[in-house]
Amino acid sequence: MKAFKILLSAVCACSLFSCTAPAQQEAKAEDGKNQVIETIMTRRSVRKYQPQAVNRDTMQIIMECGINAPNAINRQAWEVRIVDNPEVIKKLTELYVKDNPKEAENPNFKNMFRNAPTVAFIANDTTFAYSPVDCGLMAENMILSAWSMGIGSCCLGGPARFMKANPEAKEYLKQMGFSENYELLLCIGFGYPAETPKAKPRDAAKVKFMD
């Protein structure tokens, strides 16, 4: 824990320095590349992982980055539960396979969270209109910070929908203890990658500059 606090202090110090640097200066690594841009452009959704869960100290750093995302009026209208217990993931997957038996026929299928050994469950405050946007911003911070440390991830909507609809899976949601008016919005699977996915094309034509 002491080592984590030292590391976290270093991260915060670096963040403070980058925020106070002159705007015209570009934050570049020693090799001349912009580290943030490189992380964004190399990130891929991962669906094959090593079996071990992500180290909890590493997940704590990922969460610190997540909760420091921009959010409307600093409402922080999110709650997160991290699950790395393989038995919980296994039980939820068994419920999922009951309703979706064909999924289990896929030889690459290990669990309903795109095979990830660690899962973040993100709930939003349903009484606050901007909470889904804020949760999305937090999720992106988590995904990018994870990738910068060699941790793969995959943002998931299907498991969240299933868990809210399936009566037995709802019991696991209750055990997560989200506050009143909070509802599971999305999940993010995390793990040590066992694949290197190629980039899929993006449609740059959807972006236009207005004169």
Classify residue 120 as exposed, middle or buried by CB count within 10 Å of its CB (0-12, 13-18, 19+): buried
- Could you state, in chain order, the average pLDDT of each consecutive group of 10 residues for the chain (211 residues)? 44 39 45 90 97 98 98 98 98 97 94 98 98 98 98 98 97 97 98 96 97 96
Q: What is the biggest distance separating any 2 CA atoms in the chain, rounded to whole angstroms?
A: 57
> What's the pLDDT at 73?
98
* CA neighbor of 132 nearest in space, from 186, 94, 196, 210: 186
Instruction: Classify the C-alpha dihedral 192-112-89-156 as positive or negative.
Output: positive
Q: Where are the domains of the chain?
A: 47-196
The C-alpha atoms of residue 146 and residue 118 are separated, in whole angstroms, by 12
**CATH class for the region spanning 47-196:** alpha beta
> What's the pLDDT at 33?
86
> What's the pLDDT at 31?
65
> What's the pLDDT at 16?
37
Please report, for residues 54, 121, 142, 147, the alpha-carbon distance to residue 185 in angstroms, rounded to integers and kept in the order given. 22, 8, 15, 22
